[in-house]
Chain A
């Protein structure tokens, strides 16, 4: 225990003296600060911005782009122009009656940005030079033409244009009351948390593996292994990395919360941020529990792997199996979240399997419905596995650190382990 605390202290100090570690943390904090302060700063720079409220911006378009309309049915030309002008405020909509080939020519040469050739009230062709991924003009035009057609038909059937317009523009008021969990808002913060878990575990796992492999390749191991017992060694390293990770996350999320609250006024009405910064407290507790346990179980595996590497370069290939295991857990969760059924059979199983449960059970708590005893069972299994995996990995570590050679074989480590016990 005494050795464990010494190792913990030494390793933790190592993190705080690591320039990369400190640099990344500071960089992220600064990034968050910049991101959260920018809207407030902008409104401070423009103190007379009272008349340029966000709502008025889209209605004062520059209209620097040109859209050509060629309608073969002259009876609808004026209606179409009226509708298109209203629907495409960023375009300068012009009637073009020279001919289809000339219209194509105009678009190709760049004189016009796009053009519509309306064959009849139910058919048109959209001409554009390079079709952008986000170009929705054709779809919008389709909806417009549908409306034009409907209004025309209604007028033909004896309604006044006003009556027809009223029918078309009727609005329905609706209200949603969530009795269970709101997956829309939950989705965002669950996603953020799963992503944080994913990033932190992968990053720190790699750090633990590298740390062990560095000791091995620098031969500091020769001395360490004769100075401290492997269980203290392994737990000291892994727990210190977990603490370092937690502190880093606290620094990042803590500063985010502080900065957000300072600038709260600028973010009013932003659903995503509202969701992230209004996580229910009990969920944060579960997050913490599953984060720590999930972190530990993977960090142990990464540590054991580090001990099997002879050279630092070996690590990248050696960690692949663990990384895959972790990716599988991640994708099960992400796909289940995407399908909006987080309580499916796969997730139910995954929420008890120690390597997948940190993410799976957490997601189910956040977005699905789980009984408290299910959560307890999952946590107990996970705690037991963490201790078991920790001790096993400490043994692998001890067997692994003294094996030098070109290709560290997993089988030889297992053999060494079996021999020992």
Chain B
């Protein structure tokens, strides 16, 4: 399956929230929708779920406008919340039924997921008797129990301990393997880096960057060197304006416009006692800061 956002624009009153947003998401691969707070991620998600109507553009599934009667969407909202005073099984079954499941199927599916996430013992408890992390897991079931075609996970890892995060990672991997369209939205770049094959960065309602994550990293300007030396202070004095400290004690040296990597490297080796020089691999964090920051 291929989900396409095609030139989506959306305004609330005078405020233009999305401007000509386009990107595609392939099934069987995880997609990361990134952006700073207020960039337009949630609005994009809500348009995808037919909560808001876009002003312009369309959303296509396999080339045809998405049919909400046939396409099931699972959603884990960033603002978590269910009925705190109601029995867990009852509300999970209710949400699955609202998505079109029969009562019997809903109970079976909810029981499967409760078991899968190790929550069966809470089946007949009230939601507000659970810890926050466990409530998160219950919330996740509402996104998955009805076997959706498209799964939207907004900040799925926030508030989970490492063991639960691991469990969630496994579940997400399984979901991707089942050839679902999985759309992530997160500020925790490490998770996006781990899961997502492609990303889109939205900045102020526009797509600032979209593409295959590996490809983005590969084509990202490799113009920084990581230098380990015994003469840190001397090197810093000499290259003061383009040199910065890295947490592990080595230095990051930014190359100027015309400088060649080879030239600078040999210059460094000649002048200083060098232990190691390597090209700096950009992290998603660097890419995010560059594209989602105000510098763009």
Contact = CB atoms under 8 A, between A and B. Distances in A.
Contacts of A221: 81
A14 B86 contact: yes
B79 A219 contact: yes
A420 B49 CA distance: 16
B82 interface: yes
Interface in B88-126: 90, 94-95, 97-100
A226 B51 contact: yes
Among B13, B75, B77, B98: residue with most chain A CB under 10 A: B98
A220 B83 contact: yes
A222 B81 contact: yes
B84 interface: yes
B94 A6 contact: yes
A228 interface: yes
User: What's the interface size class on B, roughly?
Assistant: 20 to 34
Interface in B1-56: 12-13, 46, 49-51, 53
B185 interface: no
A125 interface: no
A226 B94 contact: no
B234 interface: no
B73 interface: yes
Interface residues of A, number: 23
Nearest to B106: A6
Given A415-B13, A420-B53, A222 B77 contact: yes
Contact of A220 (B12, B81, B90): B81
Contacts of B98: 3, 6-7, 224, 227-228
B51 A218 contact: no
Contacts of B49: 226
Interface in A230-250: none
A6 B100 CA distance: 10
Given A6-B94, A7-B98, A402 B51 contact: yes
B142 interface: yes
Contacts of B82: 218, 220, 223
B80 A226 contact: no
A227 B95 contact: yes
Among A10, A13, A222: residue with most chain B CB under 10 A: A222
Interface string A400-413: 00100000000000
A218 B100 CA distance: 24
Interface in A192-224: 215, 218-224
Nearest to B53: A420
Given A3-B98, A415-B13, A419-B13, A226 B53 contact: no
Contact of B77 (A3, A10, A14, A223): A223
B91 to A, nearest CB: 8
Interface in B49-69: 49-51, 53
A14 B82 CA distance: 14
Given A223-B142, A225-B51, A226-B49, A10 B80 contact: no
B73 to A, nearest CB: 7
Interface in A1-15: 2-3, 6-7, 10, 13-14
Contact of A219 (B73, B80, B100): B80
Contacts of B75: 222-223, 226
Contacts of B53: 420
Interface in B182-212: none
Nearest to A228: B98
A224 B51 CA distance: 11
Contacts of B73: 226
Among B12, B53, B94: residue with most chain A CB under 10 A: B94
Contact of B81 (A7, A14, A218, A228): A218
Contact of A223 (B50, B84, B95): B95
Nearest to B81: A219
Interface in B251-277: none
Among A2, A219, A415, A420: residue with most chain B CB under 10 A: A219
Contacts of A3: 98
A3 B100 CA distance: 8
A408 to B, nearest CB: 15
B293 to A, nearest CB: 27
A224 B84 CA distance: 14
Contacts of B84: 218
Interface string A300-317: 000000000000000000
Given A219-B81, A220-B81, A220-B82, A227 B13 contact: no
A402 B12 CA distance: 12
A76 to B, nearest CB: 77
A218 B83 contact: yes
A6 B97 contact: yes
A420 B77 CA distance: 23
Contacts of B50: 226
A416 B7 CA distance: 23
A75 B80 CA distance: 94
A227 B81 CA distance: 14
Contacts of A6: 94, 97-98
Contacts of A218: 81-84
Contacts of A228: 98
Given A221-B81, A415-B13, A227 B99 contact: yes
Nearest to A404: B79
Contacts of B90: 10, 13
Nearest to B100: A2
Nearest to B80: A219
A248 B110 CA distance: 33
Interface of A: 2-3, 6-7, 10, 13-14, 215, 218-228, 402, 415, 419-420
25 contacts: A3-B98, A7-B98, A10-B90, A13-B90, A215-B83, A218-B81, A218-B82, A218-B83, A219-B81, A220-B81, A220-B82, A220-B83, A221-B81, A222-B75, A222-B77, A222-B79, A222-B81, A223-B75, A224-B98, A226-B50, A226-B77, A228-B98, A402-B46, A419-B12, A420-B53
Given A222-B77, A223-B142, A402-B51, 18 more contacts: A3-B98, A6-B94, A6-B98, A7-B98, A13-B90, A218-B81, A219-B79, A219-B80, A220-B81, A220-B83, A223-B75, A223-B77, A223-B82, A227-B98, A227-B99, A228-B98, A419-B13, A420-B53
Nearest 6 pairs between A and B by C-beta?
A: A219-B81, A222-B77, A227-B98, A219-B79, A226-B49, A218-B81
